Chain A
């Protein structure tokens, strides 16, 4: 679907958030309609294609390519009016592409409550929220941009499904100290199998799961400047409850280095 790229005006954004909060049964249709109204949006004078994506990485690249083709629009990357319009306009396509809903087909969309989830911030990048990392459309793009120099290192933030980012994204993207650089690469090595590009089996099982990861780095935050450390140093630094995962991570790291 190619449409004119627009942004919400402030009132349009407010209406959009009200819709997400009230979750009417025909939410998706109402959101699509709102996004198309001149009264609540402002055209940017360029088109944007909003194709179906399942992978966060594919979606991130698509938006990144669009900004590259439209360099004068890059300032909109900082605008919640832009991200909310994109999310609203893309909602139907992304939801229909989600493997959990694909069997439902085009006849009946899933219940609005399921799409929005318990937190409307998944579709609305509101100012001041501490849940901005949960925004399903902007977060993959920001994850890519923050790790542009080592995209493979950000696989933990990019490999999962757009509509269901999962626990690793929640733990790693949710803390600005973890979501880029060597700490992000460490999380990728621990929780993603680089040979398949997918999360390792039992990645969320204790010990050494993503919860333990964020607890550990939270604990040493006052003592060690881990942001400035290399991924090898960080692997050495991890405590023994990460032992089995560290072994897998080192093996993947060795393979990666041999390949490059």
Chain B
């Protein structure tokens, strides 16, 4: 394990001092909204604060100088990050610096790799997917389509409903990936009834955010397509959507960590 020296009495900024989230406007502009309260950290009022934003898989990063720390409380401030590829994967670092006698800006406090709360547009679909406890269900869980709306039914037997939702960190990586792929196939071939079009539209937007093009989505598929010439295209796209879903929520890493920690017990 590499040794980290602290030459500047650098203060580690606690996460709870910061509130941050990403915002996506109607015009698809993306902002990082950040606010903080560093008043308990006793930082000098003439220190300077900078936010450095980057995203996985991007060349560019965004540097935003907030100026003097002053009262150490920052009201909500928006930093435009639209130009970053994968703005849904941004992480940021906040640095508080003060120049020494030679004019070198030393970092006196910082926090790194902060992930903001994601805009609703990029949530993992849990708000779209209804979950329901079904007492008599004889399999652990099952995706059902009730009145044109996908519902994740979880068995109420043996306390599974509670256990799976609260005590099984592997549940989302394993169950949701397959479910997203199934819902994608369903949404491609089903025609939404007028009363369900809002749910349908939300899923459509969600799949487009996961890499399916509008052009592909607007092609007219039906249940026969799943067995016809177009089956390979559809399967490939479903696989791509599921892969991007997995990648977005780092399910592979998460599962690997879970397996590793289980193995160490």
A interface residues (Cβ-Cβ under 8 A, vs B): 9-11, 14, 42, 78, 80, 126-130, 132-133, 138-139, 142-143, 145-146, 173, 176-177, 179-180, 222-225, 227-229, 233, 237
Contacts and interface: CB of A to CB of B under 8 A. Distances in A.
Contact of A222 (B59, B83, B89, B107): B107
A222 B240 contact: no
Given A132-B59, A142-B60, A146-B60, A225 B97 contact: yes
A223 B215 contact: no
A129 B10 contact: no
A234 B236 CA distance: 50
A176 B57 contact: no
Interface in B50-78: 50, 52, 54, 56-61, 63, 65
A168 to B, nearest CB: 16
A228 B105 contact: yes
B213 A10 contact: yes
B10 A223 contact: yes
Nearest to B247: A128
Contacts of A227: 50, 52, 63
B107 A225 contact: yes
A234 to B, nearest CB: 10
Contacts of A237: 104
A223 B110 CA distance: 10
Contact of A127 (B4, B65, B86, B236): B86
A173 B4 CA distance: 25
Interface string B187-224: 00000000000000000000000011101100000000
B227 interface: no
Contacts of A229: 104-105
A1 B116 CA distance: 45
Interface of B: 4, 6-8, 10, 48, 50, 52, 54, 56-61, 63, 65, 83-86, 89, 95, 97, 103-107, 110, 211-213, 215-216, 233, 236-237, 240, 244, 247
Contact of B85 (A78, A180, A233): A78
A38 B69 CA distance: 55
B247 A225 contact: no
B88 to A, nearest CB: 11
B105 A142 contact: no
A132 B58 contact: yes
Given A133-B59, A173-B59, A176-B59, A224 B4 contact: no
A10 B212 contact: yes
Given A127-B57, A176-B59, A176-B60, A224 B106 contact: yes
Given A143-B59, A224-B105, 16 more contacts: A10-B216, A14-B240, A42-B213, A42-B215, A78-B83, A127-B244, A128-B89, A129-B57, A130-B57, A176-B58, A222-B6, A223-B7, A223-B106, A224-B104, A225-B50, A228-B97
Nearest to A127: B57
Contacts of B7: 223
Nearest to A135: B59
B213 A9 contact: yes
- Most chain B CB atoms below 10 A, which of A10, A128, A179: A10
B216 A9 contact: yes
A212 to B, nearest CB: 17
21 contacts: A10-B213, A10-B216, A11-B233, A42-B213, A78-B85, A80-B85, A126-B57, A128-B56, A138-B59, A146-B60, A176-B59, A177-B61, A179-B59, A180-B60, A223-B10, A224-B105, A227-B50, A227-B52, A228-B97, A233-B104, A237-B104
Contacts of B105: 224-225, 228-229
Contact of A225 (B59, B95, B212, B240): B95
A110 B23 CA distance: 48
Contacts of B236: 11, 14
Contacts of B86: 127-128
B57 A128 contact: yes
Contacts of A173: 59
A12 to B, nearest CB: 10
Nearest to A146: B60
Contacts of A126: 57
Contacts of A9: 213, 215-216
A146 B59 contact: yes
Given A9-B216, A225-B50, A233-B103, A176 B240 contact: no
B110 A222 contact: yes
Nearest to B7: A223
A126 B211 CA distance: 12
Nearest to B52: A227
A11 B237 contact: yes
A155 B46 CA distance: 36
Contacts of B63: 227
Contacts of A128: 56-57, 86, 89, 247
